[in-house]
Amino acid sequence: MSLRTSLKALPTMLRIGFSEAVAYRAEMIIWVLATTMPLIMLALWSAVARTGAVGRFGQAEFVGYFLAAFCVRQLTSSWVAWLLSYEVKQGTLAMRLLRPISPLLAYATEVLAGIPLRLLVVAPVVAISLWVVGAGAVPASLGGWGLFGLSLVGAWLVTFYLNVLLGTLSLYLESSQKLMDIYMVLYFVCSGYMFPVEFFPPGVRMVIDVLPFRYQMGLPVELMTGAHATGPALVLLAKQWGWVVGLGVVATLVWRRGLARFAAFGG
Amino acid sequence: MISVRGLRKHYQVHKRPPGLKAALRSLVHRSYTSVKAVDGISFDIKPGERVGFLGPNGAGKTTTLKVLAGLLHPSEGEVHVDGHVPRLREEAFLKKIMLVMGQKQQLLWDLPPAETFELNRAIYDVPRPQYKQTLEELVSLLELEDLITKPTRQLSLGERMKCELAAALIHRPRVLFLDEPTIGLDVSMQVTMRAFIKAYNEKTGATLILTSHYMDDVAALCPRVIVIDKGQLSYDGTLDALVQRVRPEKRVVLRLARPVDAALLESLGRVVSHEPGSAVLQVQQDAVNATVGRALSTLPVTDLTVENAPLEEVMSELFQEGKARRAEAAREAVPA
C-alpha cells in the first residue's frame, strides 16, 4: 500500500483504535493486573536484598529496576501474535485483507492506540519510583532520555515483529499456540523481566546477549535506570536495532509468503 | 470487467480417522488429500452485470468469490478483475472492489457503525464531500438514522447487515461481491436488502456477483446465473433458460370456489398438490393454453395463475442430475 494513503489514514486509525481501547477498558485493567509480575519479583528480590546487595542491586536499585520493568512492559507489550493466529483460524483476516491498507499497519496502530490509556497506569508508577529511588529512577540527562526513548521504540518494534512472526506461523502450521507459549517462557526468563540479565552466569549471558529478548525489556529498563555509560549503551542499541531490521525483514517476508497459503476458512 | 480462465483452487487437507490410535499415528505420519474446491472454470462478466453464483454447499462458489476478491491465490488459471490480477492485492484494485460476507463482519463490534464508516473513509481515502454525500444517501436508503450511533453489538442481525452493507459501499466499489448477504434475515429485511442492492447496481453501474441459498435473492437480482457444482461450471446463462432446460413444464395454480374431485384434476395434468380450496397442476408448456381453457370451463375457478416450477426445485433437480452424472462416470471408470 502506498505510504501516502497509509500516512493519511493513520490519525483516524489511531483515534478509532483509542476509542476501541477505551471501550475495552475492563479488559485493559485485567491486562494491567496480569502484567504485575515485576511487582511480585520486586517483593521477592527486595527480601533477598535485605540480607545484602545482589551484585550492584540493593533494595532501592531493585525498586527502580522492577518499577521500570513494569512501565516498559506496559508500553511495549503486544498481543498481535494471538490476534493474528485467531483471525487466521477464524478466517476473519479476510476482512483486513480486503482493505487497501497493510493489515500489519492496522495491527500496529491497534496496539499503539492502547498506549495513552496505559500511560495512566505508568505515570503514577514512575512517580512512586522517583519518590522511593530518587533521581536514579529515570535517565539523568537529556541524552540519557534520548537513548532510553530510542531503546523503548526498538523494544516495541522487536516485540511487534516477533508477534507478527509467531502469528503468521499460523498460516504455515496447524497451530502456533504452543510456539507462543514457548516464546512467552523465553521472554519471561531471558528478557530481564523476572530478574536482571546480569544475574545470569557469564556463559549464559553471552547467549542472552545475542537473543532478541533482552532488547525487548532489559535494555530499556537498564537505560531508564542509568545502568550504562553512553558508549556501551550505543553498542547495545546498535544490537537492538539490528534485531529490529532483521526481524522486520523476516516477519514481512514470512507474512507475504504466508498470505499465499491463507485459506480464508468459514463463510 | 471480469475474466476467469481455467481457474483451479486445490487444497491439501489432513485426513485422520477418529480415535486415540489414529491421533497417535498422525503424530508420526500424516496423510493428506487434495480437495478440488474449484476445478477448471472459465467465464467472463461484463461491466454492470448482475450475476448469481449458484451451487450446493461445498460447490466452490465462495472459493471463486474469494479468488476474485484477491483473498485466495489460485492453484492454476488466470483471473483478471478490471485489469488487475486480484492475488497481487494492488491498492488500486482493493479500492475498486468489496466483498460482503453474510457470515463475517467488518463493523467494529464495540463501537457504533459510524466509527467504521469513518475508518473506511480514511482507509479508502474518500474525499470528505463525496463521503458526506454517499453516507447521506446510504443512511436515507437503508434507513440507518437511528442505528449508526448505537454500538454495533446492540444492533439486531438485520440492522447490523444493513450497516455492514453501508460500510462496504462508502468507497463506492465498482465491483461488489456478495456472499450470502441475506443469510439469517427475515423476509422483510431480505426484500429491503435486495431492493437496495439492485438500486445500487442501476445507479452506479457497478458489477455485482452474488451467491445465495435464497433463490428469491437470485431471482430478484440476477438475470444471469453461473452454476458451479463440485468445482466445475455446469451452467452459464439466463435464469429463465435454466428453468426451461431443467423444468420445461409449467405450473397452473388454481383457486377453487368449492372442493372438486381429484379425478377431474388428474384429467387436466399431473396434480402437484390438492386441497379443498386450491390445486396445483403441472403441464407441458405447449399444453398450457388448452389446460387453462379446460380448467376454466370445467372447474369452479376463482383465480388462476401460470408459473414456472419453484427455483428451489429446479436447482435441486439440477444438482441431482449432476450427482447422478458423476456417479455414472465413476462407475464407468471402474474396470470390469
Residue B37 has pLDDT above 80, yes or no: yes
Q: Which residues of A touch B151 (CB under 8 A)?
A: 23
> Which of A9-18, B183-192, B247-256 has the highest average model confidence (pLDDT)?
A9-18
B228 in reach of chain A (CB within 8 A) = no
CATH, range B2-243 = 3.40.50.300
* Contact between chains at A9 and B180 (C-beta distance less than 8 A): no
The C-alpha cell of B239 is what? Answer: 435464469
Instruction: Taking residues B111-117, report their average pLDDT.
Output: 94
How many domains, in total, are found in chain A?
Answer: 1
Out of A13, A100, A267, the one facing B103 most closely (by C-beta) is A267
pLDDT for B293-309, tens place per residue?
998 989 899 999 998 87
| Lowest-confidence pick of A29-43, A161-175, B114-128 | A29-43
* Residues B180 and B148 sit within 8 Å (Cβ to Cβ): no
Of B98, B108, B119, the CB nearest to A98: B98
Residue B3 confidence (pLDDT) above 80? yes
Distance from CA of B94 to the nearest CA of A (A): 5
Q: For the residues A135-155, what does the mean pLDDT come to?
A: 92
The pLDDT of B309-317, averaged and rounded, is: 80
Identify which of A84, A75, A210, A225 has the alpha carbon closest to the alpha carbon of residue A152: A75
CB-based contact A85:A255 (threshold 8 Å):
no
pLDDT of A210 > 50? The answer is yes
pLDDT beyond 60 at A267: no
CB B117 within 8 A of CB B167: yes
Q: Do A13 and B111 touch (CB under 8 A)?
A: no
Rounded-to-integer distance, Cα A50 and Cα B276, Å: 97
Closest residue, chain A, to B90 (C-alpha):
A1
CA distance B119 to chain A (A): 6
Q: Taking residues A57-77, what's their average pLDDT?
A: 92
B106 contacts in A (CB within 8 Å)? 95, 98
SS3 A183: helix
Q: Using an 8 Å Cβ cutoff, are B134 and B142 in contact?
A: no
Q: What pLDDT does B322 receive?
A: 77
**Looking at the predicted structure, is the pLDDT value of residue A265 above 70?**
no
Whole-number pLDDT of residue A231: 94
3-class DSSP state of B298:
helix
> B97 vs A98: CB contact, 8 Å cut-off?
yes
A266 domain-assigned = no
* pLDDT score of B303: 92
C-alpha cell at B43: 467465464
CA distance B211 to B252: 30
* % of chain B surpassing 70 pLDDT: 99
Position B175 scores a pLDDT of 95
Is this prediction's ipTM beyond 0.90? no
The mean per-residue pLDDT over the stretch A60-81 comes to: 93
Residue A24 inside a domain? The answer is: yes
For CA atoms B148, B151, B156, B162, the dihedral sign is: positive
Q: Which value, in Å, is the radius of gyration of the alpha carbons in chain A?
A: 19
Contact between chains at A20 and B110 (C-beta distance less than 8 A): yes
Are B104 and A24 within 8 A, CB to CB? no
Task: Confirm whether A148 is domain-assigned.
Answer: yes
Query: Which residues of B fall within a CB distance of 8 Å from A99?
Result: 94, 120, 123-124
Q: Judge whether A99 and A1 are in contact, CB under 8 Å.
A: no
Same CATH fold assignment for domains B2-243 and B248-308: no
Determine, for residues A99 and B94 on separate chains, whether the beta-carbon distance falls below 8 Å. Answer: yes
Secondary structure class of A167 (helix, strand, coil):
helix
CB-defined contacts A:B, below 8 A = 84
Sign of the Cα pseudo-torsion (B298, B299, B305, B310, in order): negative
Q: Provide long-range contacts, Cβ within 8 A and 24+ apart, for A145-150.
A: A147/A223, A147/A230, A147/A233, A147/A234, A147/A237, A148/A220, A148/A223, A148/A224, A150/A237
Q: Are strands B175-179 and B301-308 parallel, antiparallel or unpaired?
A: unpaired
Just give the CATH number of B248-308: 3.30.70.980
Domain ranges for chain B: 2-243, 248-308
- Looking at the domain assignment, is residue A27 inside a domain? yes
- pLDDT for res B335: 65
Position A266 scores a pLDDT of 55
C-beta atoms of A262 and B72 within 8 A? yes
Write out the residue range of the structural domain in which residue A117 sits: 3-259
Please state, in angstroms and as integers, the Cα–Cα distance from residue B20 to each residue in B13, B17, B26, B239, following that order. Answer: 20, 9, 10, 50
- C-alpha torsion A119→A125→A131→A136, nearest 10: -80
Beta-sheet strands, E only, within chain A: none
At B258, list the grid cell: 368449492
The yes-or-no verdict on residue B336 having pLDDT over 70 is: no
Q: Provide the pLDDT for residue B104.
A: 83
| pLDDT tens track for B234-282 | 889 998 888 888 888 888 999 999 888 888 888 888 998 999 889 999 8
Residue A44 lies in a domain: yes
Q: Which residues of A touch B178 (CB under 8 A)?
A: none
Q: Are strands B97-101 and B2-15 parallel, antiparallel or unpaired?
A: unpaired
Q: Do B72 and A264 touch (CB under 8 A)?
A: yes
> What pLDDT, on the 0 to 100 scale, is given for residue B31?
76
CA distance B169 to A128: 51
Higher-confidence residue: A262 or B129? B129
Q: Higher pLDDT residue, A81 or A25?
A: A81
Query: Least CB-CB distance to B122: which of A13, A20, A94?
Result: A13
The minimum CA-CA distance between A167 and chain B, rounded to whole Å, is 18
- With beta carbons less than 8 A apart as the criterion, state whether B298 and B290 touch: no
Report, as an integer, the average pLDDT of B209-223: 87
User: Residue A34 pLDDT more than 50?
Assistant: yes
Share of chain B above pLDDT 90, in %: 44
Query: Could you write out the DSSP letters of every residue in B301-321?
Result: EEEEEEEEPPHHHHHHHHHHH
- Closest by Cβ to B66, choosing from A12, A19, A264: A264
pLDDT of residue A1: 62
